[in-house]
Amino acid sequence: MQSAWREYTKNRAWKPDLTSANRPKSENPMTSATDWERPFLDKTAVIGIVGMGYVGMPLALAAWSAGYRVVGFDVDPEKVAAIKAGKSYIKHIAGKDVADAVANGRLDATADFSEVAKVHAVIICVPTPLTSHREPDLSYVEKTTEAIAPHLRKGHLIVLESTTWPGTTDEIMKPILERGGMKSGKDFFLAFSPEREDPGNPVHSTKSIPKVVGGDDPTALKLAQAFYGSVVTSTVAVSSTRTAEAVKLTENIFRAVNIALVNELKVVYDAMGIDVWEVIEAAKTKPFGFMPFYPGPGLGGHCIPIDPFYLTWKAREFDISTRFIELAGEINTSMPHYVVDRIARELDARFGRGLRGAKILISGIAYKKNVEDIRESPAFKLIELLEGRGATTDFYDPHVPKIPKTREHPHVTGRPCIAWSEDMLKKYDAILIATDHDGVDYAAMARCAPLVIDTRNACARAGVAGDNVVKA
C-alpha cells in the first residue's frame, strides 16, 4: 500500500505546497475562494482524517465512496495495521467496505503526521472526555493540533468534529495553528462541523445525516461546505464555529434532559404502581407536542453523559449557573444506584437475603443495543456498586467477548463473557438486563432465573412476563 501511495503522489506530481498541487493553467497562485474550492469540486483533494474510531472510520468510508482519496491518521498502531490490511475493527462497519477502499488504492492509514503536508483537508475526530473532576479534557484535541501545526500548508482546510464547548476552535486550535506565522482565513482555513454518528443505527448513516458547518471566515465555510456537501445528503451553514459547537451541545443536552425527566418519572410512577413504559407508549400516540424518550439504568456512550458538562464548565466563565442541565446530570447519574437498591430490595423481599454473597448476571455490557461499544456504559457503574456491596458479578453480551481496556475501569479489563446456556442461567440469584440487545433469549432468562431485573423493558417487548420479572 505504501508503494501504491508513493506511485499515486509521483504520478500526480504531488508537491507539499497545496497552492501548486492544483494550480490553474495560468500558473497564477490560488488566491480566491473558488481556487481553494476547486480540489473539492473535482474530487482531486486528498482528505486526512485524524482518529479512525466510531466517527472517523465511517467518515473515511463516506469520503472514499464519494470519490476522494483518504488518509487515516491514528496513534493506535493496531488500527493503522488493520486498515492497511483491509480489515474492520468496528462491528457495524463491514470488513468488505474497508477492503474495497484499500484495494483500489484510495484509502490508506498512517501514524506519521508529516503526511499531513500531502493532504488538502484535515478532519479531526478525536475524543473529548471529562477529567475525574468532570471538567473538559481537551488534551486529544490540543495534541492533535500541535501534531498538525508543523506540517500546515497554504490552502489547508482544518475541521474539528469533536464535541466541545463553544470557543474551542478559535480559542484553542487557532492560536496553535497560527504559531508558525500562517493566519486563519488567509493562509489556511478553519471550521467546525459536529459529528452526528449513531453507531449501529440501521436507518441513518454518515451519508444520510445533514452536516452542520461553521467557519472561522467565509472562505473556510465555503470550503467545508464544498467537502461535506459532496459526501453527505446536505449541509446546514451557521454563522460561526462557536454556533456550530453550540448546536452539537444543544442536541445532546436536549436528549440528556429528557432522559432525566423520564428517569425521574420512572421512580415516581414505580412508587405508585404505574408502568412508565406503558405510559410512554400511550403518550406517544399524540401526534403533536410529545416526543418519546425512555428510561434506563444510567447514561452511556461518548456523548450524552459527557457533553452537557462542557457547557456547564464554559458557562462559569460568564458567571452563569446551568441549574437545569446539572440537575438532569444528577438524576441520570443516580440511576445505577436506584437499580442496585431495587435489586437489593427484591432479593430481601423474595428470598430474605441481601446483596452480600449474591451472584448477579449482567445482561449487556455495551452502552446501547446491538453494538460492541462500551464507552461510558452504565454497566460498569452497576458492577462497581454490586461488587461494592458484596455481590459477585458476571456478564453476558453477544457483542462483547471480553471487556477491553478502559481508562476508568482497569480492574475489569479482560473479564470474559460467560458462555450462554440455560444451566448457566440457573446458577445466578438474579439477572440484571442493562442493555436490550436483540437476539437474546429473554424467555430463557425468565424461565431459568429466580429474579430478572429489567431496566430496558426488554422482556415485555419480547412478550415475556412473570412474577419473577421486575422492571426497574
Catalytic residues: 303
Cα distances (angstroms) measured from residue 135 to each of 129, 179, 208, 268, 325: 9, 26, 33, 31, 14
- List CB contacts of 165: < 8 A, sequence separation 6 or more: 136, 245, 249, 310, 311, 313, 314
Dig out the grid coordinates for 471 from the structure. Answer: 422492571
Would you put residue 190 in left (φ > 0), alpha (ψ -120 to 50) or beta? Answer: beta
Strand residues in 227-318 grouped as ranges (E): 235-238
| β-bridge mates for residue 191, sequence order | 159, 215
Burial of 349 (0-12, 13-18, 19+ CB in 10 A): exposed
Which is nearest to 382 in space by CA: 430, 439, 426? 430
Helix (H, G, I), strand (E, B) or coil at 195: coil
Which is nearest to 127 in space by CA: 71, 56, 175, 63? 56
Which is nearest to 231 in space by CA: 387, 47, 371? 47
Strand residues in 34-93 grouped as ranges (E): 46-50, 69-73
Dig out the grid coordinates for 409 from the structure. Answer: 475501569
- List CB contacts of 352: < 8 A, sequence separation 6 or more: none
Please tell me what DSSP assigns to residue 304: T
Side-by-side strand order, sheet with 211-215: 107-110, 69-73, 46-50, 121-124, 157-160, 189-192, 211-215, 235-238
Parallel, antiparallel, or unpaired: how do β-strands 107-110 and 121-124 relate?
unpaired
155: amino acid identity, one letter: G
